[in-house]
């Protein structure tokens, strides 16, 4: 029995955070550490402003930001070991590149900054990359690193940005990032695929010089460090099933349409259009997808997925076999520009062969 196995009984079986910490460090976090975590989460929640969320949606509970705070509670020590262990804190769809991905392990150093493509995963709906960045020189003033701006291409073209998540560790000289990319053509077919990944720059936060005054406009502690960091590798695409039900549900003149659904073993992509007698605003759904005994929440969305107001929403899990009955339920619609809510449910039912 390992140390972590022996101590697992100290934690609630449903506490994934505690279990992750125990797995990673084989120690129970101290009371001081958990108190500090509680304080930082509380500060982040108080500071969060939903009006600053623009064209993408993440639900539920702003988990990506809290994941960063969890990672921030613990020091990390390099490009391997505990740094890569921070991926374990990425829950829901953000854990995909680490837990389902294949090891890539390609590193390149430019000007003392080492960027590593740790792992990668691809299915019919998207590509996910686990990327770490380390400042080997540990430059003074640095408080945070970021490696998000990847440009990915294959034989069919350039991939689109699809969001992601980032750790914010206490140790300022390293960070882990999860980047989602949408293939240029959907669905992405199963089988081997050659990828060319370029990171033109990284972002470095330097807090050594404070803003000139409290009301300074345009001051930004982040600056870019030019690369490029370039990687070429092959990945085996997991594939998936495409369903085109063109299902429609309407309540009080508000229509919800699902023209296409792409089901993969790790995620379900639901393409959706919301129109009809709607007040002005960017309306996004709160809802779920049901298939067999699987109940999958809609957690990440792209409001610019296609023409004519098409949106795409991804779930927090997938299905191995897409055949049979499907139900997409939109419990309510939320106006991202204000406090507007439209109550459902809009229920769309269809079959896949």
Mean pLDDT of 308-318: 83
Strand-strand pairing, 324-335 and 283-291: antiparallel
Domain ranges of the chain: 12-237, 241-352
**What is the reported pLDDT for 69?**
33
Q: Per residue in 150-159, is it b (16+ CB within 10 Å) or e — as a string?
A: bebebeeeeb
12-237: CATH, from 2.160.10.10, 3.60.21.10, 1.10.357.10, 2.60.40.1630: 2.60.40.1630
Q: Per residue in 203-240, is it b (16+ CB within 10 Å) or e — as a string?
A: bbbeeeeeeeeeeeeeeeeeeebebebebeeebebbeb
Which residues are registered as beta bridge partners of 178?
A: 130, 165
| Rounded distance between C-alpha atoms, residue 100 and residue 46, angstroms | 34
Confidence grade of residue 269 (pLDDT, cut at 50, 70, 90) = very high
pLDDT(292) > 70 = yes
Between 71 and 96, the higher pLDDT residue: 96
pTM: 0.69
Q: What is the per-residue pLDDT across 6-26, written as a single tens digit (0 to 9) for each?
A: 333 333 333 444 444 344 333
Question: Same CATH topology for 12-237 and 241-352?
Answer: yes
What CATH number belongs to 241-352?
Answer: 2.60.40.1630
Q: What are phi and psi of 123, to 5 degrees?
A: -135, -165
pLDDT(259) > 60 = yes
Q: What is the per-residue pLDDT across 196-222, written as a single tens digit (0 to 9) for each?
A: 999 999 999 888 877 777 676 777 888
Mean pLDDT of 248-269: 93
């Amino acid at each position: 029995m390992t140390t972590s196995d022996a101590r697992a009984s100290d934690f609630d079986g449903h506490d994934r955070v505690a279990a992750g910490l125990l797995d990673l460090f084989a120690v129970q976090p101290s009371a001081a550490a958990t108190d500090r975590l509680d304080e930082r989460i509380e500060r982040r929640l108080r500071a969060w402003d939903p009006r600053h969320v623009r064209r993408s949606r993440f639900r539920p509970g702003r988990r990506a930001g809290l994941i960063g705070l969890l990672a921030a509670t613990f020091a990390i020590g390099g490009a391997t070991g505990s740094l890569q262990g921070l991926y374990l804190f990425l829950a829901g769809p953000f854990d995909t590149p680490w837990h389902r991905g294949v090891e890539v392990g390609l590193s390149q150093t430019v000007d003392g900054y080492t960027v590593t493509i740790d792992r990668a995963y691809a299915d019919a709906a998207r590509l996910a990359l686990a990327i770490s960045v380390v400042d080997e020189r540990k430059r003074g003033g640095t408080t945070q690193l970021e490696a998000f701006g990847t440009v990915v291409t294959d034989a069919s073209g350039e991939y689109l940005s699809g969001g992601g998540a980032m750790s914010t560790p206490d140790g300022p000289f390293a960070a882990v990032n999860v980047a989602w990319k949408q293939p240029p053509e959907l669905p992405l077919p199963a089988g081997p695929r050659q990828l060319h990944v370029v990171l033109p720059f990284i972002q470095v936060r330097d807090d050594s010089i404070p803003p000139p005054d409290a009301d300074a406009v345009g001051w930004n502690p982040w600056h870019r460090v030019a690369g490029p960091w370039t990687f070429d590798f092959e990945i085996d695409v997991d594939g998936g099933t495409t369903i085109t039900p063109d299902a429609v549900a309407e309540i009080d003149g508000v229509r919800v349409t699902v023209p296409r659904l792409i089901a993969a073993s790790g995620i379900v992509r639901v393409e959706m259009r919301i129109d009809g007698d709607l007040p002005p605003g960017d309306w996004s759904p709160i809802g779920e997808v049901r298939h067999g005994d699987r109940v999958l929440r809609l957690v990440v969305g792209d409001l610019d997925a296609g023409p004519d107001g098409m949106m795409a929403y991804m779930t927090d899990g997938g299905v191995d076999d897409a055949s049979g009955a499907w139900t997409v339920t939109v419990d309510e619609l939320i106006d991202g520009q204000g406090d507007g809510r439209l109550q459902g449910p809009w229920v769309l039912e269809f079959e896949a062969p």
